[in-house]
């Protein structure tokens, strides 16, 4: 990696050693209506994509500007592309996060999932990837996030998912960013434990191929076995291992995460649980602050 394309070292150190968690604020077009419904905004309350995205941007702005949403407990935040390109009071959102809140900005770059095959869902192609990564650098983004899903303990499928993830991860590293590699294991999979064993082996094999300049993060479903991914967290090329909530309630996700000594949270739905557009600012801030505290404690 060229020296001028290296990730921000201060942010790298903070992400590797800091106490806190990563907030996932990256719901995209397909998941936005569901996120808004959780927030108390029904589909008949907005007309068309622009109005929908305006609603979700207002929700994210309210979260970002809430008093407890600071670097004291939140290390990073993952943004949807439209959020990265948006602003809060005229200032780009990534700049608000890092300069005003001390929170490291990430960008979701995947474009959704292919249909299920071999027990997994691969990522769809990402057109314009090079330009998107260059734009992310320009906005001061530190890293990216890219998600695929594992439904079954299918060795061929899991190997393909991990290979695709690391191929994309190398492109992200070459652009001077740190990829969050996210091969999610479905929490409802009847072969979840077996899938996790195959996944750990596949990730270990890919990590062994990285050179010293290629650093990655891993975003993984909370495993059945306590400490199961500690060996990955200890790898020299891994900045941090973070956990997705995967549909668990905030309470369940935090209880399970607290048993994983080397994972911190990267929660989306669990972070926003109980928040509503109709709340007063005091009610909203209290509810969000409570969620932040629970997730922070589980990440220690």
> Which of the residues are catalytic?
182, 219
**Residues ≥6 apart with Cβ < 8 Å to 135:** 84, 85
Q: What angle do CA 238, 126, 60 make, to 5 degrees?
A: 70
Structure tokens, 81: 């592309």
- Give CA 211 to chain center in angstroms: 24
> Rounded distance, CA 150 to CA 195, Å?
8
- Going by C-alpha positions, the residue among 133, 182, 127 that lies closest to residue 5 is 133
Angle between helices 192-207 and 155-174 (to 10 degrees): 40
Q: Which helix (H) or strand (E) holds 76?
A: strand 74-79
């Amino acid at each position: 990696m060229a020296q001028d394309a290296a990730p921000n070292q201060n942010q790298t150190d903070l992400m590797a050693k800091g106490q806190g968690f990563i907030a996932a604020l990256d719901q995209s077009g397909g998941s936005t209506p569901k996120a808004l419904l959780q927030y108390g905004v029904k589909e008949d309350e907005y007309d068309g994509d622009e109005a929908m995205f305006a609603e979700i941007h207002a929700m994210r702005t309210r979260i970002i500007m809430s008093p407890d949403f600071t670097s004291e407990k939140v290390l990073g935040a993952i943004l949807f592309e439209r959020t990265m390109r948006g602003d809060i009071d005229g200032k780009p959102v990534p700049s608000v996060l890092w300069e005003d809140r001390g929170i490291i900005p990430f960008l979701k770059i995947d474009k959704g999932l292919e249909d299920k095959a071999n027990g997994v869902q691969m990522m769809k192609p990402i057109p314009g990837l090079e330009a998107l990564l260059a734009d992310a650098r320009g906005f001061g983004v530190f890293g990216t996030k890219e998600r695929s899903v594992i439904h079954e303990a299918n060795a061929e499928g899991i190997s393909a998912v991990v290979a695709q993830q690391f191929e994309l991860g190398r492109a992200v590293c070459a652009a001077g960013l740190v990829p969050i590699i996210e091969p999610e294991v479905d929490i409802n999979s009847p072969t979840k434990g077996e899938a996790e064993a195959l996944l750990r082996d596949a990730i270990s094999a890919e990590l062994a191929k990285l050179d010293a300049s290629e650093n990655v993060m891993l975003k993984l479903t909370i495993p059945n076995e306590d400490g199961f991914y500690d060996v990955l967290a200890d790898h020299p090329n891994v900045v941090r291992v973070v956990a997705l909530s995967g549909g668990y309630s905030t309470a369940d996700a935090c209880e399970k995460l607290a048993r994983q000594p080397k994972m911190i949270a990267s929660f989306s739905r669990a972070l926003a649980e109980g928040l509503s557009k109709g709340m007063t600012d005091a009610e909203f801030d209290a509810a969000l602050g409570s969620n932040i505290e629970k997730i922070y404690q589980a990440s220690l």
